[in-house]
């Protein structure tokens, strides 16, 4: 959507729409992604810095360091149509549709209406290993076979944990949910106004 008021009004007047998927966990919807572990912890620390009046980019630096110092390692049991798997991971990522890992496309999605969930569970268990993985991922040189304890796409996912509550970031907002965490995706549940020649992702 264009940022200018006149251009945005023209998009609305043209009436072009596109349907995209809506993912959810335990009834809480998300459009982009959800994560358990390191990222929600970092967001909590970043929010504390923001309360002191720090800009977001500055608050992220000590927040990331504080999260790495604690380095949560969640023992989770994943159940999907591909079977069951138990693993320990510092970061479980569930995307609404498939996220690319290739260099130059990291963080982009191959589609917004494929009706699938994209699951990554980081394998690194140490601070140095996690930092090395993050650097290679930023350069588009991650190795799925080595860097992830689980990776794949599914129509639904159930995550079981022995914890009473789990902090989970949904599109950057942290929620505390009681497991099990049931992830679903509603195909083409949201209709958006889009430019006639707008981008696909």
pLDDT at position 201 is 47
pLDDT at position 197 is 66
Q: What is the pLDDT of residues 56-70, one digit of tens each?
A: 767 787 777 778 888
CB 183 within 8 A of CB 36: no
For 190, the enclosing helix (H) or strand (E) is strand 181-193
Q: How does DSSP assign 39-89, residue by residue? A: HHHHHHHHHHHHTTT--HHHHHHHHHHHHHHH---EEEEEEETTEEEEEEE
pLDDT at position 180 is 97
Average pLDDT of the residues of the chain: 87
Q: What is the pLDDT of residues 136-178, one digit of tens each?
A: 887 778 888 888 988 889 999 999 999 999 999 999 899 999 9
What is the set of domains in the chain, with CATH numbers? 16-36+73-193 (2.60.200.40)
Res 198 pLDDT > 70: no
CB 201 within 8 A of CB 109: yes
CA distance 74 to 87: 8
The two beta strands, 33-37 and 28-30, are: unpaired
User: Can you read off the two tokens belonging to residue 144?
Assistant: 């799925």
User: Can you read off the two tokens belonging to residue 77?
Assistant: 């049991």
Q: What is the pLDDT of residues 82-112, one digit of tens each?
A: 889 999 999 999 999 998 877 667 778 888 9
Helix (H, G, I), strand (E, B) or coil at 3: coil
pLDDT at position 77 is 96
* pTM (2 d.p.): 0.84
CA distance 54 to 59: 6
């Amino acid at each position: 959507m264009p940022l200018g008021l006149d251009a945005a009004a023209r998009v609305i007047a043209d009436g072009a729409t596109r349907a995209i998927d809506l993912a959810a966990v335990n009834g809480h919807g998300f459009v982009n992604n959800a994560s358990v572990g390191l990222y929600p912890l970092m967001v909590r620390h970043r929010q504390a810095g923001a309360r002191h009046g720090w800009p977001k980019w500055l608050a992220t630096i000590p927040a990331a360091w504080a999260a790495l110092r604690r380095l949560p390692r969640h023992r989770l049991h994943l159940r999907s149509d591909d079977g069951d798997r138990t693993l320990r991971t510092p970061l479980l990522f569930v995307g609404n549709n498939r996220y690319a890992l290739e260099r130059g496309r990291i963080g982009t999605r191959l589609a917004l209406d494929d009706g699938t969930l994209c699951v990554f569970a980081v394998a690194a268990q140490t601070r140095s290993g996690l930092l090395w993985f993050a650097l290679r991922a930023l350069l588009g040189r991650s190795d799925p076979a080595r860097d992830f304890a689980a990776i794949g796409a599914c129509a639904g996912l159930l995550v079981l944990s022995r914890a009473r509550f789990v902090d989970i970031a949904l599109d950057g907002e942290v929620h505390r949910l009681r497991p099990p965490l049931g992830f679903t995706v509603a195909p083409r549940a949201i209709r958006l106004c889009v430019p006639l020649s707008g981008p696909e992702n």
